[in-house]
Amino acid sequence: MPDTLPVPIADGLICPDADGIALFASRERATNRLCFPARPEDDPRYDRVVLPRTGRLWSWTVQRFRPKSPPYAGPEAFEPYAVGYVELDGALIVEGRLVDVAFDDLAIGMAMRIVLLPFEMTDGTLRTSFGFAPDKGLGA
């Protein structure tokens, strides 16, 4: 991740690498079950893993009103945004914002990939968060 990127919205959430970003998760040693968000790195019952970057849209909706603050920490000015769950290949179904797609084009099953999402906080500062965008490389 270049030095110019804003600070991550949380520690242990986003894994930067040469291909862009991915999400950290944890695999429980006893059961092999994956969980997201990742557990603390020093938890001896879990191994830290990185989730696949691509998958299919599992469900979606559009947030049409500004959520209450707290907990919402986005700008006062509000634009509706899409939210969905993406079934990451062979791993987990992860919730996130959906970006770079018109609401009318959203369809369950469409190919998606994780992308970096600059998130503007209420005070105008930026944080690095994540979202999912259509994966043009794969087709629908």
Partner 1 sequence: MSEEVVIVGAGIHPFGRTPGLSGLQQGVFAVRQALERAGLAWRDIQFAFGGSDAAGNADTMVSELGLTGIPFINVSNGCATGGSAMFGAYSTIKSGEFDLGLAVGFDKHPRGSFSPLPADWGLPDWYGETGLMLTTQFFAMKIQRYMSLYGITAHTLGAIAEKAFANGVLADHAWRREAVDIDTILHSQMVSDPLTKFMFCSPGEGAVALLLASGRKARELGLPTVRLRAAAVRTRPAGSFEVFSPALDLERGGSPTSVASQAAYDMAGVGPEDIDIAQLQDTEAGAEIMHMAENGFCADGEQPAWIAEGRTRIDGSLPVNTDGGCLACGEPIGASGLRQVYENYMQLIGQAGARQAPGKLRLGYSHVYGAPGVSAVAIVER
Pairing outcome for strands 20-28 and 126-134: unpaired
Site residue total, partner 1 (CB under 8 A): 42
The three-state secondary structure class of 103 is: helix
Nearer to partner 1, 18 or 130 (CB): 130
Burial 25-63 (b: 16+ CB within 10 A, else e): bbbeeeeeebebebbeeeeeebeebebbbbbbbbebeee
Nearer to partner 1, 92 or 112 (CB): 92
Nearer to partner 1, 72 or 138 (CB): 72
Q: Is 67 in the site for partner 1 (CB under 8 A)?
A: yes
Q: Which residues bind partner 1 (CB under 8 A)?
A: 9-10, 13, 25, 33-37, 58-65, 67-68, 70-74, 81, 83-85, 87, 90-97, 103, 108, 119, 121, 129
